[in-house]
Amino acid sequence: MQVENIFPTPILKFNLSQDFCNKSLDIAKKYANDNKWFEQNAYGSSITTYHEDLSRNYCGKHDSDLAENFIEYARKYLGGIGYDPDCNLRAESWLNLNLPNTHHSLHEHYGSFVSGVVWLQTSETSGNFVFHEPIGVKTQNFTQYKFAEKIQNAFNFETYSLNPTNGNGVIFPSWLPHQVQPNKSNDHRYSVAFNVWIEKDG
């Protein structure tokens, strides 16, 4: 007899080479400087191309190599969860900059199939990337019984935190809530995020 996990949430972690990461970081820094991002008031949140570029095609316009690399990992993720890794995919991408004392609040990427992020420049204190338990009724019910929790394991934790380093990446279901905690460092944090859709043939 054993306790089983019947609704697992799959994520895929990966790493870019240092040279690859540095190349993408140089492209990101040039974009930020050319578009005067450091002259903007971030109002405590990320500065991003998500709203500037409605086509959300940062990589297609500026860093196609990074897009191709991400799609390769997305296909590995799809194969790992039982989907056709060679299916037709459509992706969008955007650049994010977190200045000191900025964050990105809790959200999800509704509508796409999988999402992901690649960290180009980060540090230990520039803000963890935190996933949250997506099942609201589960969280509501478990909260009242926290007093009886003896150990934390895969069945009862409510958040899962990543402290990424340069070149780290993660792919996850688009419906999974996540946030970026405040950047407590004096450094700039650069990342590129993606959404991916599966499209029918024809």
CATH number assigned to the domain comprising residue 58: 2.60.120.620
Residue 145 lies in a domain: yes
- Collapsing DSSP states into helix, strand and coil, what is residue 172? strand
- The stretch 145-173 carries a mean pLDDT of 95
**Residue 1 belongs to a domain:** no
Q: Does residue 80 sit within a domain?
A: yes
What is the distance between the alpha carbons of residues 27 and 31, in angstroms, rounded to a whole number?
A: 6
Q: What is the DSSP string of 148-159?
A: G--S--TTT-SE
Is 88 inside any structural domain?
Answer: yes
Q: Is residue 195 part of a domain?
A: yes
- The token duo for 157 is 């934790």
Which domain covers residue 87, as residue numbers? 12-199
What mean pLDDT is predicted for residues 82-105? 96
The number of folded domains in the chain is 1
pLDDT (tens digit per residue) in 174-201:
999 999 999 999 999 999 999 999 999 8
Closest to 61 measured CA to CA, from 76, 73, 49: 49
Q: What is the pLDDT of residues 71-92, one digit of tens each?
A: 999 999 999 999 999 999 999 9
Q: Is residue 39 in some structural domain?
A: yes
Examine residue 98 and state whether it is found in any structural domain, yes or no. yes
In terms of Cα–Cα distance, which of 118, 123, 133 is closest to 185?
123
